Amino acid sequence: MAPALAWWSPDAGFEAAPVWLELAGSHVALVGVAGQRERHAARQAVRQAVRAALPGLFGVAPGAIGLHAVSGSGLAPYATVHGKEGERRVALAFSHDEALSVAAVGRDGLVGIDVMRIVEIPDWQALARDYLGPDVARALAARAGADRPAALARAWSEREARLKCLGLGIGEWRDGEDADLQACRCLPLALPDGYIGTLALAAAGARAGQ
């Protein structure tokens, strides 16, 4: 079963409190925000949702939480949680497309997440060839036309989630990168119709803060 998100709104808070999900040996919490189409507002809203979720997840006061993003560093965003045992660093990942924003919190490991609206892309062949690689491009070409937009969104979402999990930026596909990316395990997300989402979990041994 695809893991579900805890949905949050600026006016009403969470529909149901976020909880830790045990997925592929990792503990992950997932939150989502719908309805914010403007990118800056969406980024702010999903970060507010994460900030609202962390105190309950870790059993600390709101003031014990810090969210951090090192701009231009290529490093993934993270949170710091100040508890009885000192400061803890927690992996975070964010994604936004159209009116949907999502975030993942990794309690004990690295995470990546990506959401994509399913749309028809006229130049999908060039996009797949340049960014997803020849194997994926051939598989997409073999798909029926009606099925291809969702298949492309799934492939793109998985690639982006894996890259975020490893702290890498999006770039053109290159020979030799698949081994590192394939080490991340991908799970589909339960999202509203019209969207594809992927959660990526790092291979065993890659822990938050490393």
Please classify residue 64 by burial: count the beta carbons closer than 10 Å to its beta carbon, then call 0-12 exposed, 13-18 middle and 19+ buried: middle
Q: How far is CA 17 from the centre of its chain?
A: 19
**Residue 150's pLDDT is what?**
96
Q: What is the pLDDT along the chain (210 residues), one digit of tens a residue?
A: 789 999 999 899 999 999 999 998 899 999 999 988 888 899 999 999 999 999 999 999 999 999 997 655 556 899 999 988 889 999 999 999 999 999 999 998 899 999 999 999 989 999 999 999 999 999 999 988 899 999 999 999 999 999 999 888 888 887 766 677 778 999 999 999 999 999 999 876 544 433
Separation CA 127–CA 110 (nearest Å)? 27
Strand order in the sheet with 195-201: 111-117, 195-201, 185-188
Q: How far is CA 178 from CA 20, 22, 146, in A?
A: 29, 26, 28
Cβ(189)–Cβ(102) under 8 Å? yes
Cβ(121)–Cβ(130) under 8 Å? no
User: Hunting for tokens 């006061």 — which residue is that?
Assistant: 61
pTM exceeds 0.85: yes
3-state secondary structure of 115: strand
Separation CA 199–CA 197 (nearest Å)? 7
Put residue 103 in one of left, alpha, beta given phi > 0 → left and psi -120 to 50 → alpha: beta
Architecture of domain 6-201: Alpha-Beta Complex (3.90)
Domain assignments of the chain as residue spans, ordered by start: 6-201
